[in-house]
């Protein structure tokens, strides 16, 4: 898999194929779910196990994990609350403000007092997935 090398890669002696493989590794780890994302996060600080290029790419798992679909998040929030979210919040952000390996965070405004709050939503089936894989 040959990749056209940006000039700065060549200048610093970084193999563009290694970069492409590191990106592919991160994408595969991300697609495998929370347990593997955690493993990737651990590997991202282990220069004795993986190359610096792979470490740099896996470090993206520490702060750039993709969120899960909004409709799933809203369903999970309502299941946890035992009622429609509109009963508790006057507004809830349509997109998460942050996402991580085990969940994501939405912004909400409490209906009762109008306070702005973080609403943490666990990824679907994360407890079952992590428990089975550990």
What pLDDT, in 10s, does the model give residues 97-106?
888 777 889 9
Does 2 map to a domain? no
Does 89 map to a domain? yes
CA distances from 97 to 29, 56, 117 (A): 22, 23, 12
Does 1 map to a domain? no
Q: What percent of the chain has pLDDT over 90?
A: 40
- The percent helix, strand, coil of the chain (3-state, each to 5) is 50, 15, 35
Q: Provide the residue range defining the domain that includes 89.
A: 70-133
- How many C-beta neighbours within 10 Å does residue 80 have? 13
Per the structure, how many domains does the chain have? 2
Quick one: tokens of 30?
């991300």
State the pairing for strand pair 103-110/116-122: antiparallel
- How many C-beta neighbours within 10 Å does residue 41 have? 19
Does 101 map to a domain? yes
128 versus 26: which is more confidently predicted?
26
pTM of the entire predicted model: 0.57
pLDDT digits (tens, 9 = 90+) for 5-54: 566 666 666 787 888 899 999 999 988 888 888 899 899 989 999 999 99
Does 94 map to a domain? yes
Does 24 map to a domain? yes
Does 76 map to a domain? yes
Residues 79 and 129 in one domain: yes
Rounded to 5 degrees, what are φ and ψ at 104?
A: -145, 170
Final residue before a domain boundary, out of 44, 62, 80: 62
């Amino acid at each position: 898999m040959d990749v056209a090398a940006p000039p700065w890669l060549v200048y610093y002696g970084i193999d563009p194929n290694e970069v492409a493989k590191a990106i592919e590794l991160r994408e595969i780890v991300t697609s495998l779910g929370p347990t593997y994302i955690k493993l990737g996060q651990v590997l991202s600080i282990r220069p004795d196990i993986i190359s610096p290029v792979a470490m740099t790419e896996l470090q993206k798992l520490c702060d750039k994990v993709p969120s899960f679909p909004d409709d799933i998040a809203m369903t999970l929030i309502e299941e946890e609350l035992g009622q429609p979210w509109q009963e508790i919040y006057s507004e809830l952000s349509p997109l998460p403000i942050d996402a991580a390996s085990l969940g994501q965070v939405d912004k909400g405004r409490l209906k009762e007092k109008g306070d702005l709050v973080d609403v943490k939503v666990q990824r679907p089936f994360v407890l079952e997935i992590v428990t089975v894989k550990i």
